[in-house]
Structure 1
Amino acid sequence: MRENLLGALADDSETIRNCVSSLIPPIISKTGLSSWPDIFPSLINFAESSNTYLGEGALSTLQKIFEDCEVRLRDPTVAPSINAIIPRLIDFIGNQNINIKVSALKCVNHLLASRYPMNQHFEQLLRCLFALNVDTNIEVKKTVCFAFCALAEEYFDDICSGIYDIIDLMLERSVDPSEEVAREACEFWPKMYDNNVRTYILGEYLQRLIPILVNGMQYHDTDLQCLEHELEDNAHIEDRDEDIRPRFHRARGKLDESDNEEMPEDYTQCWTLRKCCASALDEGSRVFGGARFLPILLPIIEPFVSSPDWKTRESVILVLGAVSEGCMVEMLQYLPSVFPFLLQSLNDEKALIRSISCWTVSRYAKWLTSPAGKGFFEQFLCLLLERILDRNKRVQEAACSAFAAVVEEGESCMVPYLGRIVSCFAEALEQYKSKNLNLLCDAICRLAESVHTDLNQPQFVEALMTPLCKKWENLADNDTQMFSLLECLSACSFAFGESFLFFHKYIFERCIRITKDNLLAQVSRQPRLAMFFEESFMKSILPSEIG
């Protein structure tokens, strides 16, 4: 059977070759390489065949073995077989056949990423990688960039003598016309932030690197195509079930990273050049600090502020948010000049500018709620409340997250504006669709925990509890939105004190019923019903002080 499988790698049909190539790795995973000791030399020999189909099929199979059989490859008894083929794999990197070249590169990359001992081969490998600098194939360029990223991360000491040439090449690739290549190249820079030696070397290149990262942070056409449905007035459209994920409230002082620290987009979606550059700029500003970063950065972004191109203006707002933590001390002197632009951007006609402005301003929440930012706070809050009621769901989401971050920093700042805030939240509770309702409930929780009994005014209790009770009545017991709503009601109960007693009985009775039903479902092993009987759900039902 094994001979037949290997022979089929030369079949004229690409479908058959791909099928065979996919069948061999599971066999090795199941039986181990010791049961097929000649598989590596056989595939390497086939790769040198004059039969193009056989050569491509052999290297493709070897690549899949490296990717799918990692556990088997860690076996010390396999090391001699791998060591024997490494020099020949590296030779294949210079093959004229693109498919063979890319497969060989990916095999080597897998060994690099898994920290396989390759020290004696680095000179040969670097020579082959640099020789590919003139190759125009996108897949080859991407794979070479991955190789240099792995080398920088795992084998820096071994390549230190050639690091300046590598940096020059990666700077060139970071502005490649192909967004895929540029994105892969930009993954290199965070690898250079790891220790003092690397940052010292990279520090010499900041004048070239920072402009590249800034320019890469603009939306590209592919980004906008993915976001097309989020650019319109869509607040009236019902959410799909797959768009909604449970969100659990954190107690004060426990901001979730996604609220204020991470980039303001759903990173479970595809990783883009924009996100990669923003992350690299964020991390780089923390490593090098504002004293080194801002003198280079500010002259670059200053003209962007007045650009007629909305994508350029949007990118500078993202930049200001990305460097906020690393450059905060040095940015303080510029914030009085920067904030009018940010506040104006909260009212921009483009939804993506309004949403990114919410996030960026929230990154400066500590300054905004301090005496230094007092002159901007009221205007900001009024604009933020408008954005909570925005006609675009993405903006609503960003505004709710920004509110949660700001109220965390400036508890007492909110008290004079409770009337406006509560009125806004009450209206939002009536308008919001399923997905953003979770974020809104979290924002209400943060407010209740921050202002405490200042919220216990009859008009506030009525304004909030009327729509909350309406939601309470309309949600099914097993609706995932019940998590957020229960936590919101729990926070309100503490803030409202005795005023909550009017609503207490029928809310408490339903909580008991839900708990009972889930306990019974757990006992009777009905997973579809029992899925809601989890620690997080019980914490929603029971006051935090209980346990």
Structure 2
Amino acid sequence: MGWRPQDQGLQQICYLLSEFQKPGTNQAQILSQLEQCKNFPDFNNYLATIFAQGSTLPDEVRQSAGLLLKNNLRDQFVSASDEYKTFIKSCILPAMGDKKRMLRQTAGTTIAVIVTQGGLSSWPQLLQAMQRCLESSDPDALDGTMDALYKVVEEAPMQLDIEVTGMQGTPNSLLIPRLLHLFQAPLPKVQVQAVSIVNLLAGGMPEPLANSLDEYLQGLFSLATNQQAEMRKAVCTGIVQMVHLQPDCLAPQLPAIIEYMLQSTQDADEGVALEACEFWSACCEVAADASTLRPVLPKLIPVLLGNMVYKEDDEEVLEAQAGEAEPDGAEDRDQELKPFIQRGGGHGEEDEEDGGEEVSRWNLRKCSAAGLDVLSTVFGDEILPIVVPIVQQRLQEQDWKARESGILALGAISEGCASGLLHYLADMVAALLPLLADTRPLVRSITCWALSRYSRWIVDNGRDPQSQGQRQMEAVIQGFLGRVLDHNKRVQEAACSALASLEEAIGQDAHPGLLLPYLRPILETLGRACSSYGRRNLRMLYDALSTLADMVGRPLAQPDCIQLFMPPLLQRWQTTDDTDRELLPLLEVFTTIAQALGQAFQPYAESIFERCLRLAATQLAAKQGGATTSAASKPADQPEQQREFIIGALDLISGMAEGLGPSIENLIERAHLRDLLLQCCQDASADVRQSAFALVGDLSKVCPGHLLPCTRQLVTLAVANLQPQNITQENMSACNNACWSLGELAMKITTEQLQPYAATIVEHLVPILAAPTGAMPRSILENSAITLGRVAWICPDVLAPHLGSFTGVWCASLRNIRDDVEKEHAFLGLCAMLRINPQGALPAFVGICEAVTSWRHIRDEGLLNEMIQIMQLYKQHLTAGGMWQQALNSLPRAVRDKLTTLCHL
């Protein structure tokens, strides 16, 4: 006898689900009661019964039961008993072919969750049922199976490559042939589903599909002119994916495919046109020779430019028009708010794309602009004779949508066609400046964006005082500032982003002084905007202020400057609740400001530090399941939010440590920061550990005495992150910061204090340095080499006897580090140990010489003298043994010549 539901339990749950559907009921109260039901081990069995077998119940009640079951199984399926798992599976499987499509779809979603949590290999009945249904003529069973299969492939594609007990071959080998056959199914919807599923599978290119690639492509081509828009869209998706995955397979048909995609990019159905438009970027990015596109450029570029024109009923147009009617300072609607993405920060990592941009809605207009952008980078100035006449005509038209698309095109070609536009940029910028005051908000916003795309040129051209370029740069800055105070939210957003881009360009070109004449007007404008902006655009404003602080630094600390931006920021800080996610970008902007202001941040330090400490402690306790709430601070609702608040608070304390320096010790010695820091350094989240170890490193620089009582725990926690099994891509930032913090701590404590831990640290660093080429990212290799050198500099006597076991791999990493003070520390450690045990490192003589000659310029005279003396020491030792010339001859010629000159050999 298996599990059977009790009538009373079924009635109670059905009653709650029914009440939930009724208008005017207290849904929160009902949800709370349903949540309490989760404590009963068989609650999900009841939900499965109601969903799959409740044929007399309203469809909405059955669907609610199914959706609640699906949500519960994400957390509870793995821990459920085998009996309950079997029961739930037996209920859900028949529902895959339910007569009601909404119930079939809910069954498919639930099946995907079960496969994700429990694996497909433990559910052979599902695969058998899918095989039967794919052969069935029952349209409901076929539709439900295809829907469920699509979701399984989407959620757990690897499960289809694992053999299922009792069946010959993998699920992919059994299903793919049937799916390819269904490309020609009599039911149009089934055809679309089959193509969509195989398109998804192609992303991982399982072997059964790779073996049937010709059949897949022929199937796509045969459906290319299908009457269904959804089918043509799926065909375009498949072709674009194959451009990325198997471009060589498309080569024979590429001219025909290009013509097809050109026509499809003009399809009346925007979904089809959007999928086809992706082809042009893919073709440029993947193809080794994009010249196959050259003949079609005169036809393609006008099509892309045509797609870049707003339609009258475009959602963005309607939103912008609605924004014009709103009063200044109107609060944002919920749908306008976008998720905040933390920047995060690591030490010693390679520069990468930030990726912190908020993702806007992707559409044909933006895809066409992106395609034009990529084409311009591939073909460069070659496309200007096609683009420029169209743009010139667009800018003269009365229709604002045409003018806007011309400005968009100018921005899109800014990088690829920069050289060809060079002689016209001054006139182009002059033509764009008046459009910042256009009556149409979308024209004003796109003009901000287009001008920002030429920020590097504007800055470079504006370096000479009193020049035309300097006056134009001033006009651009003033234009952006005017739009920062625009009454339209979309324009505000674009202006803040453009201002940040211009500030960043000034910093990248190492001309921060160019901003100083405009510092007060910029701060005054940002301060006024901070007092009036809605929540959404405050984030963009904070970004502009953070970028300004990064670029300008200490001049921001002038008292009259501080008064322009700190009062409105503090007002936001004081009125934003501890659990409000709008506190996160505030934490970030204060981090940058604290670093820039230095000691001038002192008047605000105590209250901000105390709030950070309280915030981190509260959220950490909640995250670990032991939260206590108070009137002052409450934990956030979700673990992800708890993590973000902890990171933001730790990062801000790090920023204060960097800005205030040793004076932060007055705050830290009165707080319980050590215990909190140790908890965060062993948190399950790599992001929390990353920020915690960054704070350890920053505190080591300015007040190492505060960390001395917990040195043993910190070293233990740091080296735990350097275990080979823990050095993964997911953990890399935490590993880097753990390694870096050990080096910073080593530099600030005495030899006696470091000695007990020196050998342990090095024992964990050497395996990283000795890993096979390519096995470790460059960032962790560099951090490990630097930290090893710093520890060696402080404790050479402890490590020198073991020098021979790691000198070669250590020097191999040292020679790849750029010249800076951290490299100096590492080489000082190398020299200190070589003085003690030169003989032990002799087998790595070539590596030592290559490392020494990796320097381009040695600023530290003491280090240069040390290296000269070490090499002279080796010359004397090897000459005495008649081995010097042989040792020199073993070096590459370039290394030998440079070493001879550098060290006077």
Q: TM-score w.r.t. structure 1 length?
A: 0.85
- Of the three residues 188, 193, 204, the one matched with 2:295 is 204
Q: How many residues align?
A: 532
1:70 paired to 2:157? yes
Deviates more, 1:96-105 or 1:120-129: 120-129
- In structure 2, the partner of 1:35 is 124
1:509 paired to 2:509? no
- In structure 2, the partner of 1:429 is 530
What's the CA shift for 1:420? 2.7
What's the CA shift for 1:165? 1.5
Q: Is the 8 A contact 1:119 1:158 kept in 2?
A: no
What's the CA shift for 1:216? 1.8
What's the CA shift for 1:258? 6.9
What's the CA shift for 1:425? 2.7
- Of the three residues 630, 635, 640, the one matched with 1:529 is 635
User: After superposition, where does 1:287-306 map in structure 2 within 5 Å?
Assistant: 288-306=378-396
Whichever of the two has the greater Rg, that structure is 2
Question: What one-letter code is carried by the residue in structure 1 that aligns with 2:330?
Answer: I
Task: Tell me the distance in 2 between the aligned counterparts of 1:236 and 1:423.
Answer: 17
1:237 paired to 2:330? yes
Q: 1:39 to 1:400 in 2, by over 3 A?
A: same
What's the CA shift for 1:142? 0.9
1:377 paired to 2:465? no
Task: Tell me the distance in 2 between the aligned counterparts of 1:88 and 1:477.
Answer: 55
Greater RCO structure (CA 8 Å; 6+ sep): 1
Q: Is the 8 A contact 2:376 2:383 kept in 1?
A: yes
What's the CA shift for 1:514? 1.3
Q: 1:258 to 1:350 in 2, by over 3 A?
A: farther
Q: 1:458 to 1:254 in 2, by over 3 A?
A: farther
Q: 1:523 to 1:224 in 2, by over 3 A?
A: closer
Task: Tell me the distance in 2 between the aligned counterparts of 1:218 and 1:123.
Answer: 38
Q: 1:435 to 1:157 in 2, by over 3 A?
A: same
Task: Tell me the distance in 1 between the aligned counterparts of 2:181 and 2:362.
Answer: 32
What's the CA shift for 1:244? 5.8
- In structure 1, the partner of 2:319 is 227
What's the CA shift for 1:181? 0.7
Q: 1:241 to 1:93 in 2, by over 3 A?
A: closer
Task: Tell me the distance in 2 between the aligned counterparts of 1:52 and 1:472.
Answer: 59
Question: What one-letter code is carried by the residue in structure 2 that aligns with 1:332?
Answer: L
1:324 paired to 2:418? no
What's the CA shift for 1:139? 0.9
Q: 1:256 to 1:420 in 2, by over 3 A?
A: farther
User: After superposition, where does 1:240-319 map in structure 2 within 5 Å?
Assistant: 240=333, 243=337, 245-246=339-340, 266-267=358-359, 269-286=360-377, 288-319=378-409
- In structure 2, the partner of 1:543 is 656
Question: What one-letter code is carried by the residue in structure 1 that aligns with 2:315?
Answer: D
Question: What one-letter code is carried by the residue in structure 2 that aligns with 1:380?
Answer: V
What's the CA shift for 1:458? 4.7
- Of the three residues 279, 284, 287, the one matched with 1:193 is 284
Q: 1:219 to 1:475 in 2, by over 3 A?
A: same
Task: Tell me the distance in 2 between the aligned counterparts of 1:57 and 1:250.
Answer: 43
Q: Is the 8 A contact 2:612 2:652 kept in 1?
A: no
Q: Is the 8 A contact 1:151 1:159 kept in 2?
A: yes
What's the CA shift for 1:150? 1.9
- In structure 2, the partner of 1:183 is 274
SS in 1 for 2:212: helix
Q: Is the 8 A contact 2:523 2:564 kept in 1?
A: yes
What's the CA shift for 1:14? 4.2
SS in 1 for 2:539: helix
Task: Tell me the distance in 2 between the aligned counterparts of 1:315 and 1:128.
Answer: 37
After superposition, what is the alpha-carbon deviation per residue over 1:179-238, rounded to whole angstroms, capped at 9, x for unaligned? 111001112222212345352323333223222222222223343367354454454111
What's the CA shift for 1:94? 2.4
SS in 1 for 2:184: coil
What's the CA shift for 1:111? 2.5
Q: Is the 8 A contact 1:249 1:442 kept in 2?
A: no
Q: 1:308 to 1:24 in 2, by over 3 A?
A: same
Q: Is the 8 A contact 1:232 1:351 kept in 2?
A: no
Task: Tell me the distance in 1 between the aligned counterparts of 2:493 and 2:645.
Answer: 28
SS in 1 for 2:423: coil
1:91 paired to 2:181? yes
RMSD (Å) for aligned C-alpha atoms: 3.5
SS in 2 for 1:442: helix
Task: Tell me the distance in 2 between the aligned counterparts of 1:366 and 1:95.
Answer: 56
Q: Is the 8 A contact 1:247 1:438 kept in 2?
A: no
- In structure 2, the partner of 1:105 is 195
Task: Tell me the distance in 2 between the aligned counterparts of 1:418 and 1:194.
Answer: 41
Task: Tell me the distance in 1 between the aligned counterparts of 2:97 and 2:557.
Answer: 78
After superposition, what is the alpha-carbon deviation per residue over 1:20-66, rounded to whole angstroms, capped at 9, x for unaligned? 555655565546357236345422321xx3x5445444544544444
Q: Which runs of 5+ in 2 are unaligned?
A: 1-86, 463-468, 507-511, 629-633, 637-641, 662-697, 699-905
Task: Tell me the distance in 1 between the aligned counterparts of 2:526 and 2:635.
Answer: 32
- Of the three residues 378, 396, 399, the one matched with 2:495 is 399
Task: Tell me the distance in 1 between the aligned counterparts of 2:303 and 2:646.
Answer: 47
- In structure 1, the partner of 2:240 is 149
Q: 1:493 to 1:35 in 2, by over 3 A?
A: closer
User: After superposition, where does 1:148-167 map in structure 2 within 5 Å?
Assistant: 148-167=239-258
Task: Tell me the distance in 2 between the aligned counterparts of 1:419 and 1:19.
Answer: 58
Deviates more, 1:410-419 or 1:383-392: 410-419
What's the CA shift for 1:348? 0.8
Q: 1:57 to 1:237 in 2, by over 3 A?
A: same
Task: Tell me the distance in 1 between the aligned counterparts of 2:306 and 2:612.
Answer: 53
Q: Is the 8 A contact 1:404 1:442 kept in 2?
A: yes
Task: Tell me the distance in 1 between the aligned counterparts of 2:519 and 2:379.
Answer: 38
Q: 1:230 to 1:138 in 2, by over 3 A?
A: farther
Q: Which runs of 5+ in 1 are unaligned?
A: none
SS in 2 for 1:285: helix
Task: Tell me the distance in 2 between the aligned counterparts of 1:244 and 1:21.
Answer: 30
Task: Tell me the distance in 2 between the aligned counterparts of 1:103 and 1:154.
Answer: 21
Deviates more, 1:320-329 or 1:7-16: 7-16
Task: Tell me the distance in 2 between the aligned counterparts of 1:452 and 1:161.
Answer: 57
- In structure 1, the partner of 2:665 is none
SS in 2 for 1:135: coil
- In structure 2, the partner of 1:442 is 543
SS in 2 for 1:194: helix
User: After superposition, where does 1:332-371 map in structure 2 within 5 Å?
Assistant: 332-371=422-461
Q: Is the 8 A contact 1:25 1:65 kept in 2?
A: yes
What's the CA shift for 1:167? 1.6
Q: 1:474 to 1:84 in 2, by over 3 A?
A: closer
After superposition, what is the alpha-carbon deviation per residue over 1:128-151, rounded to whole angstroms, capped at 9, x for unaligned? 323323322111111111111122
Q: 1:199 to 1:235 in 2, by over 3 A?
A: farther
